[in-house]
Structure 1
Amino acid sequence: MRLGMIAKAEETSFRMAQKYGLDFVEFCVNEGDDVEEFCRQASRYGEWSREYGISIGSIGRWKSLRLHEDGSIIQEELERCRHLIDAASMLGCPNMVVGCNYVEKLSLYANCTSAIAFFEKLLDYAANRNVSLSSYNCRKVNYVNNPTMWSIIHEHLPELGIKYDPSHARFFEGDYLQETLNWGHRFKHVHLKGSLVVGGRKIDEPPAGLDQTDWRSFLGLLRACGYEGGLSIEPRKSALPDELAARGIEYSAAYFRRLLLQQEDHRS
């Protein structure tokens, strides 16, 4: 398994990842972000990647509508996702992450049929570009986020992976260890985000390793499932004071390097 972090698409991110002894950075090009500008700058990201020895481990697009109200695919969004797959391919990035919105006026069957059609088009496009496609288990503008939906959509699409984050299961009363045991063989990318839940209520998202998640058991299950993909630290705004935010990332990086039994490689 390789350790990295979610970061902005800028040179300082590569420098930070190198400083913390990480292997890769991950970019999120979400709804409202300029996909075309990101793709135009891809060659620059490649230059920084080579300069700092930090790869690009995943590119994701969250919070976007993929389906019209009649269940048909939004072609403009499909093209944006294809352009991001092209950028990933050019950068040697192995994974692209997308979700799919639920259309309330349609049946579950119709929604699943439409989601499958959307994912199929991207899977076909990514197939000869050396990029894997994954759904994500975040709930934001995405219903393909739990074992019930995976048993329908992912069992129909054997090449579709899962980007998994234990915190999303924890915040919605799921069992992240059981989900990992049952579905870890389909995980293609993993987020390491802290979570604090009391009485069934989300309290905070502290730095991973300073939270309640049983990360030792989680990583043990990933190993048992044969997972060899990326582990991406996800820095979040939390109760930690702003002046300690960078130290929170540093702590998470050191914490997971120990769990992965890696040699210390912290660079000042």
Structure 2
Amino acid sequence: MNLGIIGAPTVETLKMAVDKKLDFVEFCINVNKNVDDFINRISEINYWMDLYKVKVGSVGRWGSSRIDKNGIVEEEMEVDFQLIESASKLGSKVFVCGCNYVEDISYYENCQLAISYFSKLIDYGRQKGVQIAVYNCGWNNFVDNSMAWTIIHGYLKELGIKYDPSHSRYAGRDYLKEMRDWGDRFYHVHIKGSLIVDGERLDDPPAGLDQTDWGSFMAILYSKNYQGGLSIEPHSPIWTGELGARGIDYTVNMMKKFLL
């Protein structure tokens, strides 16, 4: 396993990774981001990677609507194709995405469309040397739980999971059980803290200053022979600025103790 961090596709992110002695950075070009700007700067990012000797561990896109009642949204699939190609050019082996749920059709039909969509991404990614993983976040995505994985991942043997225990905890699920049952399909992992008080989400503090059992979490990853990336995700509106920087340092130091 190796340790990295999510950040904007800027030189400052790579410098931060170097300063904290991390192995990689991750870029999330979500629905609210400028995809063309990212694609047009691939050569520049590659230059920074060579300069600072930092890899790109994952490229992903959260929040977009990839299917509707009429089928696949071709424009969004083309965006994903472009990002998969960009991931390949950056040396990233993983592209992360999801699939929205369409209320006008049945769960079965949603699964059929998701399988069709992911199949096309898998085929394209195979040509580019990039694996496809589905994020377990519920942001415009229904493929985030064991029921969906049983159907969709059960059928698509090459489709992976990008796992983050905080999403499972906030949804009221058992993250250690999900890891036990599905850890062999994890292609990428996010390291993000979660804090629940009186049954409600309070904050996403730095990992290690939260309620996640990170020791058991890592033990299960080792039991599954997981060898992918552990990507730190700063996500708190409280832990920002100088406090946020100290929180990242705390998480980096904690996670490095788990890397054998």
Task: Give the alignment's TM-score, normalised by structure 1.
Answer: 0.95
Counterpart of 1:97 in structure 2 is 96
In 1, Cα distance between the equivalents of 2:183 and 2:148? 15
Q: Secondary structure at the match of 1:169?
A: helix
* Deviation of the 1:259 alpha carbon: 1.5
2:50 aligns with: 50
Q: Does 1:18 align with 2:18?
A: yes
- CA displacement at 1:44 relative to structure 2: 1.0
Residue 64 of structure 2 corresponds to 64
Gapped regions of structure 1 (runs ≥ 5): 262-268
2:54 aligned partner, one-letter code: I
Partner deviation per Cα, 1:194-252 (whole Å, 9 max, x = no partner): 00012321111001111110011001100101100000000012433643111111111
Question: Could you tell me how far apart the structure 2 residues matched to 1:241 and 1:38 are?
Answer: 25
Q: Who is 1:254 aligned against? A: 253
CA distance in 2, matches of 1:256, 1:148: 30
* Aligned residue identity for 1:167: S
Structure 1 distance, partners of 2:10, 2:152, is: 35
- TM-score, normalised relative to structure 2: 0.98
> How far apart, in 2, do the equivalents of 1:53 and 1:15 lie?
10
Equivalent position SS for 1:128? helix
Alignment of 1:68-147 (within 5 A): 68-70=68-70, 72-147=71-146
| 1:223 partner letter | Y
Deviations 1:10-54 (A, max 9, x none): 001000001111000000000021212211101111111111111
Distance 2:67 2:114 in 1: 8
Alpha-carbon distance in 2 for matches of 1:212, 1:237: 15
CA contact (8 A) 1:162 1:188 kept: yes
C-alpha distance in 2 between matches for 1:104 and 1:68:
9
* Distance (whole Å) between structure 1 residues aligned to residue 125 and residue 240 of structure 2: 41
Deviation at 1:158, TM superposition (A): 0.2
The one-character-per-residue Cα deviations of 1:176-210 (angstroms, maximum 9, x if unpaired) are 00100100000000000000012321111001111
SS of 1:256's equivalent in the other structure is: helix
Give the fraction of aligned pairs with identical amino acids, expressed as a percent: 48
Kept in 2, the 8 Å contact 1:194–1:212? The answer is yes
Question: What letter corresponds to residue 39 of structure 2 in structure 1?
Answer: C
Equivalent residues of 1:173, 1:200 under 8 A apart: no
> Which residue of 1 is the match for residue 32 of structure 2?
32
Per-residue CA deviations over 1:64-117 (Å, capped at 9, x if unaligned) read: 0001233x1111100000000001111110100010000001001100000000
Q: Amino acid of the residue matched to residue 20 of structure 2? A: Y
What is the aligned partner in structure 1 of residue 178 from structure 2? 179
- Please tell me the residue identity of whatever aligns with 1:186: R
Counterpart residue number, 2:151: 152
Distance change (3 Å), C-alpha of 1:84 and 1:241: closer
- Corresponding residue for 1:191? 190
After TM superposition, where is structure 1 displaced by more than 6 Å over at least 4 residues in a row? none
Structure 1 residues 54 and 122, CA gap change in structure 2 (3 angstroms)? same
Distance 1:122 1:172 in 2: 27
What is the CA–CA distance in structure 1 between the aligned matches of 2:123 and 2:177, rounded to whole Å? 31
CA distance in 2, matches of 1:16, 1:241: 15
Q: Alpha carbon RMSD of aligned pairs, Å? A: 1.0
Q: Answer with 30-39 or 239-248: which moved more.
A: 239-248
Q: How does 1:164-175 map to 2 (within 5 A)?
A: 164-175=163-174
> Number of aligned pairs?
260
